[in-house]
Amino acid sequence: MMALSDTDNYFELFQLPEQYDIDTLQLSDRYRELQRVVHPDRFVGASAQESRLSQQKATLVNDAYHVLRDDLRRAQYLLQLKDIEYLEHKLNDSMFLMEQMELREELDAVSASRDLDRLSVLFSRTQQLQQACKEQLRLHLSLSGDLQAACDDVFKLQFLNKLCEEAEQLEDTLY
């Protein structure tokens, strides 16, 4: 999923420092402040031109908020701003990949047994791994950070998020 506007810097739009750590309260406050000004509902009686402009700006503000508030998307965006090709990145971590295979097998087993307790164990394990991954991201995306290592983290977090998503879908079918 890519952003439509390549020219606007999301951090600048929200007047926030261009870094991984973000003050989420400040972010959501500014999101509301910006939408208050640009949202199409503020331009219902306005000319077609102003409506179109407000539509564009409100879309941009929504896109930016969507990216900035999510840890993975924000990390990807930072790499993109630094011209790092994280999409082409290959992960060389057999330990991690083994663990993923094991987690996926566990998900299949839960699906077969319809065991909700076992599912919640899987959930908390995945969440721990996600948390650890985000800690690494914070480190690797800091000023003195290792951007190639950050690409590894992004790759891993994508894996874990996908697993989590599938576990949630499974949970839906178990209720």
Residues within the interface to other proteins (CB under 8 A): 1-2, 4, 13-15, 28-30, 32-42, 44-50, 53-55, 57-59, 62-63, 65-66, 168, 172, 175
Residue the block writes with tokens 């999101």? 31
Smallest gap from Cβ 118 to other proteins, in A, equals 19
Smallest gap from Cβ 158 to other proteins, in A, equals 16
Based on CB atoms, which residue is closest to other proteins, 33 or 102? 33
Based on CB atoms, which residue is closest to other proteins, 69 or 118? 69
Picking from 170, 97, 101, 159, the residue whose alpha carbon sits closest to that of residue 130 is 159
- Residue 80 has φ and ψ, to the nearest 5°, of -60, -40
CA–CA gap between residue 34 and residue 30 (Å, rounded)? 6
Tokens of 81: 């701003």
Smallest gap from Cβ 156 to other proteins, in A, equals 21
